[in-house]
Amino acid sequence: MKPKPLSALNHFTVPCVICFSLAGFRAALCGPVHTGVDLAGSTRSGFPPPPVPGFWAIHLLVVWAAIYLAWGRRMRPQWRSYRFAVMVTVVWAAVTFAFNSFAGTNYGFLNIRPTTASLLDLLGPWPVYLLTATTLLLMVWALMTWPWERTQRHTKEGPQVV
């Protein structure tokens, strides 16, 4: 699959990029888990192992892409695109959960909690933490969408005289 340039994204995909990147980056920031073999095939534990700088670079670039889309390209999330991002997330979670079960992986920590300490420890046992994290995620996304919708509505209606 070939990635699209940021300028080619549409009003449905932009909120997915914004919501996924900003919420996902916070999750990665709060509890990254780096285990396994490094890029050279070694299991040594030098600091930092080669995958760590790549992990942070990729996540930071995605956040900068979201900032560029929102402020640079003025592509703002709307309530209809919020609903689309929620639907995409539900489908992604279902497919990822099924793949994790089949492949014996745990991408997104959907199947079991991480083996290292993380913020998920505060959200309860599995599967309770999935429901708690989903609720928090939906609230954060709504809070990220609301100011843009409010600003857009305010500029369409003109200044309010009280």
pLDDT digits (tens, 9 = 90+) for 139-150: 988 888 888 787
pLDDT, tens only, 71-93: 777 777 788 888 888 898 899 89
Query: Is residue 72, in this structure, part of any structural domain at all?
Result: yes
Query: Is residue 40, in this structure, part of any structural domain at all?
Result: no
Query: Structurally, how many domains does the chain consist of?
Result: 1
Query: Is residue 129, in this structure, part of any structural domain at all?
Result: yes
Query: Is residue 162, in this structure, part of any structural domain at all?
Result: no
- Identify the band that residue 39 occupies on the pLDDT scale cut at 50, 70 and 90: very low
For residues 62 and 25, the model is more confident at 62
User: Quick check: helix, strand or coil at residue 9?
Assistant: coil
Segment 120-149 shows an average pLDDT of 88
d(CA 137, CA 111): 18
Query: Is residue 20, in this structure, part of any structural domain at all?
Result: yes
For residues 45 and 53, the model is more confident at 53
Question: Two tokens at 142?
Answer: 């709504």
Residue 84 lies in domain: 6-34+45-157
Query: Is residue 39, in this structure, part of any structural domain at all?
Result: no
What percent of the chain lies above the pLDDT cut of 70? Answer: 66
Range 110-118, long-range pairs (CB < 8 A, 24+ positions)? 114/31, 114/33, 115/33, 115/35, 116/31, 116/33, 117/31, 118/30, 118/31, 118/33
